[in-house]
Amino acid sequence: MGLAENCGAEAVLAQLRAAGVSQVFGIPGSTETPFLERIRAAGGPNYVLGLHEGAIVSMADGYARATGGPAVAMLHTTAGSLNAMAHIYNARRNSSPVVVLAGHKDRTVLSEDGFCAIPDLAAVLRNVTKWSSQSLGSDQLAGDVARALHIATTPPCGPVYLAMPVDLLEEELTGVVVERWPRRAQFGRALTPPPADLATALSLLDAAERPLLVLGSRIAGNPGVVANFADAVGLAIAAIDPADLTTFPYPSSDPRYLGTYAEQRGWLSSCDLVVAVGCRTFFPYSAEIRGRLPHGARLLHIDSEPLELGWDAPEECSLLGDPAATLVALTEAAARLDGLSRAGVAKRLAWRDEMSVVRAERRQAAATAVRADLSQAGGAGGVLSVERLALELDAILPDDVVVFDEALRSSRPLLQAITWGPRASIERNRGGALGWSVPAAIGWKLAQPERPALVVVGDGSFQFSVQALWSAVRQGVSLIVLVIDNGGYLAVKRHIEEMLGIEETLGGKPDPRWHPGVEIEGLDHATVARGYGVHATVVDSADGAASALAAAFSTDGVHVVVAHVARTWP
């Protein structure tokens, strides 16, 4: 008895080492014991233990975002894989290169439909992954893992799944063959469209009077490239609707930035050209809530993913290429060809400046009105609004903060109030499965421990993965979690009100009636958090929130700040 040194699990571990994997996020069962033993014997990689499979996958999601490379999550056979499916779906929507490895039951149990047996478990995961497979032999394990790494990190990136029967992990091998990795050199070149297509796009831009540059997450991290292009052509800048963002693509502190596409419906009707870059047009949140082209406007679509071009809106011109490289090429072509009317550029820039002034004035007026409400400042009887909480947060955010936004219905006032510069990052989840933000932030911090990180999460979402706090403490990360506690699932309540036309019947006031499924009163989030070993504070005023958040940013460790905000329940 005993586990051979050259076994299937060693082949898996050797392949992961060859790929530079230093962290494995996992929650094990008996089918993963060979792998755990080989990690112990080798002294690594670091095994990040979690308490729920969904949180494990989202930790890997956050880690992959921070490193730009693959992240490995290890799950336990059928039960663990099914528990994690919602968060694997998140990773799929987020285009995160998460490599999910699952120790499966041995082949005898699978063939006889025994305990935890789904013989073709890979087929179950196929709908939520980019690629899903099951190893068929111990001598194929290393190659299967190499293939999983390769597929996950090949653009467009996405999660992959590999089930590995435990008897293959235990089986002795004559030798451990490691596949060469990485195999991504062919994707290192930033591909750009041909000159003729660039010329067509420039002519379309030159004919526009009020064009809007709409950015998606695939252009994130290139604010200088975007600004140069916008100035050269004469474009106002917006972000695509938040439901379609994993990372906000542009700093809101820049006066060129006018907000999100959904916010600007008032003046958007006058826009005659939408230049969509690195995003889908348009990603619907629901049948009613979706971006659309203004009437009579044309679309210029630039993206690296062919399937997204022309998906939902007919484009006048589409450019297939790396978004950043294509914008650089367009900027250079505009200067080289001198094909843009200077008067046209000046007119477009004047329109952009006008819109920028209007936005700044509206933001200032909104902030002044919120601060004028002295009932929120402090003391007994005050009712803290999300808007005031966001203003207090904006005043203390570090320049290089990374914010994980899972505030749901509170996200809109949050994103309208806070200002972030080019060193900051706003991370979001496109999948919709709750409980993503806290574990994703933990994964990010393991990759970039020096950057301050803040999670802003609704009270309902917080409870979906609160157990991830234990992993944060165990791994020694520093993290701030701001829980916006309104006592219920506000998104559900608001949808009921919208469905019933409450704005018309009650003059826009919240519905005071009780509705099933919306209240989660009685939860003591701070006490729950303390049970996992973190510092927790409850605040119910603007002064209290400002003080607690400032203290958290100046102290190491995991801090949970529970902000009691205005309720809308009967």
Render each residue's pLDDT in the chain as its tens digit; 570 residues: 678 788 999 999 999 999 999 999 999 998 899 999 999 999 989 999 999 999 999 999 999 999 999 999 999 998 999 999 999 999 999 999 999 999 987 777 767 676 667 878 999 999 999 999 999 998 999 999 999 999 999 888 999 999 999 889 999 998 767 776 655 544 555 788 999 999 999 999 999 999 999 999 999 999 999 999 999 999 999 999 888 999 999 999 999 999 988 765 566 667 899 999 999 888 766 666 667 788 888 999 999 988 888 777 777 899 999 999 999 999 999 887 666 888 899 999 999 998 899 888 888 888 888 888 766 766 555 678 899 999 999 999 999 999 999 998 888 888 888 999 999 999 999 999 999 999 999 999 999 999 999 999 999 999 999 999 999 999 999 999 999 998 777 777 777 777 777 654 445 566 777 777 777 878 899 999 999 999 999 999 999 999 999 999 999 999 999 999 987 655
Cα separation of 346 and 324, whole Å?
A: 24
Strand pairing class (160-165; 211-215): unpaired
Cα-based angle 368, 369, 375 (whole degrees, multiple of 5): 110
Q: For tokens 């469905």, name the residue.
A: 499
| Count of the separate structural domains present in the chain | 3
Output the CA–CA distances (angstroms, integers) from residue 529 to 411, 465, 482, in the order listed: 22, 11, 12
Task: Show the tokens assigned to 284.
Answer: 């619907």
Residues 340 and 383 in one domain: no
Residue 521, domain CATH: 3.40.50.970
- Where among 124, 156, 187 does a domain terminate? 187
On whether residue 297 sits in a domain, the answer given is yes
Closest to 67 (Cα-Cα) out of 372, 446, 532, 410: 446
Task: Judge whether 427 and 407 are in contact, CB under 8 Å.
Answer: no
Residues 310 and 388 in one domain: no
Residues 409 and 383 in one domain: yes
On whether residue 328 sits in a domain, the answer given is yes
Put residue 55 in one of left, alpha, beta given phi > 0 → left and psi -120 to 50 → alpha: alpha
On whether residue 366 sits in a domain, the answer given is no
Peptide bond into 510 cis (omega under 30): no
Task: Show the tokens assigned to 373.
Answer: 């409400």
Residue 226, domain CATH: 3.40.50.1220
DSSP H helices, 480-522, are 490-500, 502-505
Q: Could you tell me the residue range of the domain that residue 36 belongs to? A: 8-187
Cα separation of 30 and 75, whole Å?
A: 11
On whether residue 312 sits in a domain, the answer given is yes
Residues 104 and 234 in one domain: no
Residues 410 and 439 in one domain: yes
Task: Show the tokens assigned to 36.
Answer: 């755990």
Q: For tokens 């009685």, name the residue.
A: 522
On whether residue 116 sits in a domain, the answer given is yes
Strand order in the sheet with 131-134: 46-49, 23-26, 71-76, 98-104, 160-165, 131-134
On whether residue 535 sits in a domain, the answer given is yes
Task: Judge whether 472 and 529 are in contact, CB under 8 Å.
Answer: no
- Where among 187, 203, 232 does a domain terminate? 187
On whether residue 217 sits in a domain, the answer given is yes
Residues 439 and 528 in one domain: yes
Residues 64 and 103 in one domain: yes
Strand order in the sheet with 402-406: 425-427, 402-406, 453-458, 479-485, 558-564, 535-539
Task: Kindly report the length of the chain.
Answer: 570
- Where among 170, 187, 204 does a domain terminate? 187
DSSP three-state, residue 165: strand
Residues 142 and 244 in one domain: no
Strand partners, 403: 426, 454
On whether residue 1 sits in a domain, the answer given is no
Residues 325 and 211 in one domain: yes
Residues 215 and 170 in one domain: no
DSSP letter at 422?
T
DSSP H helices, 264-423, are 265-268, 323-337, 342-371, 386-396, 411-417
DSSP three-state, residue 17: helix
Cα separation of 279 and 309, whole Å?
A: 9
Residues 461 and 498 in one domain: yes
DSSP three-state, residue 546: helix
Residues 381 and 339 in one domain: no
Cα separation of 28 and 40, whole Å?
A: 14
